[in-house]
Structure 1
């Protein structure tokens, strides 16, 4: 996550939704009075201290940040935003990522590697009953809620529309005083995990419904369509 008081923006980093790429894209805008947790070499170095003292980490929610930090300091109104992802692709990416993350939880790693494929993982329903590291199994709406409802100040960009989103984001930040030379026209690619194309999911109608039901608020909030099966 980034809370940049110098320019006046806040980026909330939803797990497996291009957050590391966004952190690296935005990092050059941060000065010594701005907060950058996780996602970059510097951010990872200071993360442990912020977890210990303030309970903030790179995947903290908007509500977490607002409890700890004043994000509306005069004279600027903060531009608060995040990037979201199609729930099917995101869950597939999480599955791929966690099967390769050796340093987190040996028992979880063993369990995930025991599944032959994504289909078996969805059938296990583990994502519905366990929040996962940094709560990454939870619906993306979890990161934008304040007082039990989506924040009206949050701008949600879809990574499927990245080219258009970066153009809008870049324009907004430059208007707020960001140095245009520090903001490339394209987003870097970082920490990419394999995600199957829709036709490769191999899911039955019943398994698709599990995903549809669990992530129903994401489909509705961010305008994604349910998977159409033959």
Structure 2
């Protein structure tokens, strides 16, 4: 029995894929905060060196710090943010197309049957409570900040200039190769949004606009 316990203990210590820290993080001594619909899958593929399926965890900086403060402090921490209006449109398109077909299946069905129009989705479904009950809707600051709204990561890149900003990540982590373009949603065919829709999104995601300069 002791031999089995020792073997299990050795396996756990040597196994680097321990939630929320993943093997690619240990390999690169980094923490990537994966905000949904901000090109995170492309970054994951670049960090892991593989374009096959990889676990997508949408953990906050607080989650990582709580799990292992020492590792959190010594790791290079980064994330990418996206214009909240553009990001929300991407989320809506993603759910219209079926989402991941697993844990957001019910929500995707609701969107695709009753809230196909983006304006209806913004005004008749989204509210401050729902922003925090579905990970896809969560404000970006909630992934990156503490209770004082201090950003807890070393670098925040922008989706809008991701190739340029990823060069900074490559330099920090000694990565090679270009950033793969993975899990990219189709461009929206919608016309320019009405100002009242944009204003509503600005109201819902006011802290994102304020902190990240959008």
TM-score range, shorter chain: 0.7 to 0.9
Structure-1 residue corresponding to 2:92: 95
Structure-2 residue corresponding to 1:122: 122
Structure-2 residue corresponding to 1:70: 69
Q: Which runs of 4+ in 1 moved over 4 A?
A: none
- Deviation track 1:148-187 (CA, whole Å, cap 9, x = no partner) reads 423354311001111211211111112xxxxx4xx21x21
SS in 2 for 1:83: strand
Over 3 Å counting, the alpha-carbon distance change for 1:94 and 1:10 in structure 2 is same
Aligned CA-pair RMSD: 2.7
SS in 2 for 1:88: helix
Superposition TM-score, scaled by structure 2 size: 0.76
Over 3 Å counting, the alpha-carbon distance change for 1:154 and 1:213 in structure 2 is farther
Q: Could you tell me whether the CA contact under 8 Å between 2:28 and 2:47 is conserved in 1?
A: no
Over 3 Å counting, the alpha-carbon distance change for 1:71 and 1:161 in structure 2 is farther
Greater Rg over alpha carbons, structure = 2
Over 3 Å counting, the alpha-carbon distance change for 1:106 and 1:80 in structure 2 is closer
Over 3 Å counting, the alpha-carbon distance change for 1:27 and 1:152 in structure 2 is same
Aligned length: 190
Moved more, 97-106 or 19-28: 97-106
Q: Could you tell me whether the CA contact under 8 Å between 2:144 and 2:152 is conserved in 1?
A: no
Structure-1 residue corresponding to 2:59: 60
How far did residue 98 of structure 1 move? Answer: 1.2
Structure-2 residue corresponding to 1:158: 158
SS in 2 for 1:96: helix
Within-5 A mapping of 1:74-89: 77-89=74-86
SS in 2 for 1:126: coil
SS in 1 for 2:32: strand
Structure 2 unaligned spans of 5+: 1-19
1:190 paired to 2:211 = no
SS in 1 for 2:59: coil
Structure 1 unaligned spans of 5+: 30-38, 45-56, 175-179, 225-230
> By percentage of residues, which structure has more helix?
2
Over 3 Å counting, the alpha-carbon distance change for 1:96 and 1:133 in structure 2 is farther
1:24 paired to 2:45 = yes
Separation of aligned partners in 2, 1:110 and 1:72: 40
Superposition TM-score, scaled by structure 1 size: 0.72
